[in-house]
Structure 1
Amino acid sequence: MTAFLRTTALAGGIAALAAGSALAEEVNLYSYRQPELLKPLTDAFTEETGIAVNVAFLEDGMVERLTAEGDRSPADLVLTVDISRLASVVDAGVTQPVESTVLTDHVPAAFHDPDNHWWGLTTRARIIYASKDRVEDGEVTTYEDLADPKWEGRICTRSGTHAYNVALVAAYLHHHGEEATKDWLEGVKSNLARKPQGNDRAQVKAIWAGECDIAIGNTYYMGQMLEDPEQTEWANSVDIVFPTFEGAGTHMNISGIAMTKAAPNKENALKFMEFLVSPEAQEIYAEANHEYPIAPGSEPSDLVKGWGEFTPDDVNLMDLAALRPDALRLIQEVDFDG
């Protein structure tokens, strides 16, 4: 526990470590998700099992930290968002495969690593936020539409090199090939109202402020904005549009978990992984984070259901992870953020 306290302090944030130290059993988690977003889950797990969950929040550098710690790492599990980040942890050789009938029964094959190193927990759609006042229904329906000159000076987005946008470009590359993807990126860039900046919520704020008319973002940010009194007005100024790729569906990404190679509390770590894909935990996670649960039979929250139905793209997420380097190269070639 002493070593874990040291590493979590360096990581920049810890949750429930003092309380956890009084319990006989524990599991240690490195997370790219902030502890408060996981607290409903960790509290429910501890109440059910008596096992404390110690969460170390890392803003970045998870792979580098695990590589440096090696076999001495106090981390049992890593939880992150975005398929490229999950793949990078596995590619670094700091995880181990997990065999579990509970996991295979609750996580569809499309949402876990073929070699069982990472397992999906929830999904989110990368959608379009559209001004209620300045965008007509049906005016934008596909990702391809974003390059249409009619949107010149009307689009806002965060950095093109952010993991969420790189994954979207990788999906475009999968469906359309390199030449068409580069043309599309150039078209979208020419339609930007301002230089890429801020996070997804900042783009919705820009729509509310009249700086642009549409923006690219993840679905769950709508839920987060509606919970924040300072941001509710931003959220109410936009509609959610579920665009599709021509001939395919809406781009999806994932949050997922993997067991570290070091895992000093392997048995407890497996219990926590299996708990996270249970119907109870899936609904807690979906409610707390406004995402789509993965386990069969689980339902999203009423708020998320209210955003509408859509057809998810069925591309294998590992295929997108493999295309990430090419997607990033194309983003840089067109100087998307310039």
Structure 2
Amino acid sequence: MKQRSIIRALVVLCLVAAMATGAALASEHPLLDEARQEGKAIFYANITGVDAIMEAFEAEYGVVAEYTRISTAVYIPTVQTEFQAGRLAADVLQGPLPVLQILKDAGILEAYVSPVSENYPEWSKDPDGVIQQFGIETVALIYNKELVDPADVPTSYKDLADPKWRDRIVMPDPITHATTITWLVGLKDHVFETEAEWMDFLRGLAANRPMFVASFGPTPGPIETGEKHIGISMPKYIVTRAPAPLDWAKLDGEPLMGSARGIALAKGAQRPNAAKLFVDYWLSEASATLLATDVGETVLYEGIYPPIEGIAEPELIALRELSDDEIQEWSEVFQTIF
């Protein structure tokens, strides 16, 4: 906790310094006057722990950011229902890339290319200028560093099939959790040389009788308590659950993979200037730093990483999102294995 407090204090000092020199910059933002007249931007998102960003935005510009969290399971129907009824409250929408893609295809998003997007990789930019990817929800092997001997820490994803991990693993349910299904298929595409080798790994993993939970959210709990020693989880929990004894397995030459997150304007936003101002701030260095430092997010802003040892070293891969039919097909395959 002490280390995290020091890191956060340094970030705050940096932000204060930036604001000292940035007050003039804020006043120069071409949308600021109109945004202040609109008064606020309403933000729908499925991300958590972003209160500091909302507060920093208001402090910087004098415009309120109202944050409503909507779970991924009901995100699309909620937004679609509001939009079709002509009462979509949100000005800005953030969520997993496939969710935003569905909303884009439904005509619910509006094009806006933020000038701040120049700090993001080209592959993260929508060719239609609608969705800007800003981060990846990376998945990793997270373990209890007080219970796992350093010599036993995996050096490859393949090590989870080792019988020494029997009854010691926790992971989201590979039959019902779409993101886990996508990640397991990502191992086939990016880690294993052949599908046969991948299938052998899956059978070995299943033979180790992992505990299944509904999503990634519950995975760190059993690892913290020692009920399980290792899990298919997310490195951000090392930050958000500090000082829990969590660490991540740094694998030899294997990538970090996960699902991309994006942000976009709502079509016909009631407060378009405040919305664009908010998107610009969300993509800024200050916001990306808070996302990385406070939330443990893997952001795509160049040169910014969570305060996790070694996290900047592996190749980072945004996984191809599977179609509903593919998710169903692989779920049925995994039922025969797990």
Q: TM-score range by the shorter chain?
A: 0.7 to 0.9
Change (3 A) 1:310 1:138: farther
Q: Distance in 2 between matches of 1:102 and 1:204?
A: 34
Q: Which residue of 2 aligns with 1:192?
A: 209
Residues 322/198 of structure 1: CA separation in 2 closer, same or farther (3 Å cut): closer
CA 310–173 in structure 1, closer or farther in 2 if over 3 Å, else same: same
Corresponding residue number in structure 1 for 2:131: 118
Is 1:335 aligned to residue 338 of structure 2?
A: no
User: SS state of the match for residue 67, structure 2?
Assistant: strand
* Corresponding residue of 1:94: 108
**1:76 to partner: Cα distance:** 1.4
Distance in 2 between residues matched to 1:52 and 1:294, nearest whole Å: 25
Relative to structure 1, is the Cα distance of residues 336 and 215 closer, same or farther in structure 2, using a 3 angstrom cutoff? farther
Percent of aligned positions with the same letter in both sequences?
Answer: 20
Identify the match of residue 316 of structure 2 among 313, 318, 323: 313
Other structure's SS at 2:219 match: helix
1:241 aligns with 2:257: no
Match of 1:75 in 2: 90
Answer yes or no: is the 8 Å Cα contact 1:23–1:50 preserved in 2.
no
Deviation at 1:95, TM superposition (A): 1.7
Show the 5 A alignment for 1:16-165.
Answer: 24-34=38-48, 37-59=49-71, 60-70=73-83, 72=86, 73-80=88-95, 82-103=96-117, 105-132=118-145, 133-137=147-151, 139-160=153-174, 161-165=176-180
Structure 1's 44 and 23: CA in aligned 2 closer, same or farther, altered over 3 A?
farther
Greater shift after overlay, 179-188 or 253-262? 179-188
Checking the alignment, whether the CA contact within 8 Å between 1:147 and 1:191 is kept in structure 2 is: yes
Q: TM-score, normalised by structure 1?
A: 0.75
| 1:274 to 1:198, Cα distance in 2 relative to 1, 3 A | same
Q: TM-score when scaled to structure 2?
A: 0.75
AA at the equivalent of 1:275: Y
Matching of residues 211-290 of structure 1 within 5 Å? 211-226=227-242, 232=243, 235-236=244-245, 238-243=246-251, 248-290=254-296
Unaligned runs of at least 5 residues, structure 2: 1-35
Contact 1:242/1:310 (CA < 8 Å) preserved in 2?
Answer: no
TM superposition shift of 1:290: 1.7
Kindly indicate whether the alpha-carbon contact (under 8 Å) linking 2:94 and 2:263 is maintained by their aligned counterparts in 1.
yes
Aligned residue for 1:300?
305
What does the per-residue CA deviation read over 1:69-91, in whole Å, with 9 as the maximum and x for residues that have no partner?
A: 226222111112x4443434334
Q: Compared with structure 1, are the counterparts of its residues 179 and 169 closer, same or farther at alpha carbon in structure 2 (3 Å cutoff)?
A: same
Match of 1:4 in 2: none
CA distance in 1, matches of 2:149, 2:197: 26
Structure 2 CA distance for partners of 1:134 and 1:183, relative to 1, 3 Å = same
Are the equivalent residues in 2 in contact too, given 1:87–1:321 (CA < 8 A)?
no
Where structure 1 has 5 or more consecutive residues not aligned to the other structure, the ranges are 1-21, 227-231
Retained in 2: the 8 A contact 1:156–1:206? yes
The amino acid that maps onto 1:109 is E
Aligned AA for 1:239?
Answer: D
8 Å Cα contact 2:114/2:279 also seen in 1? no
Kindly provide the amino acid, as one letter, of the partner of residue 132 in structure 2: W
Partners of 1:187 and 1:147 lie apart in 2 by 4
Q: Report if the CA contact (8 A) 1:124-1:219 is conserved.
A: no
Task: Give SS of 1:166's match.
Answer: helix
Amino acid at match of 1:290: G
| Whole-angstrom distance in 1 between the partners of 2:309 and 2:266 | 37
The Cα shift of 1:50 comes to 2.3
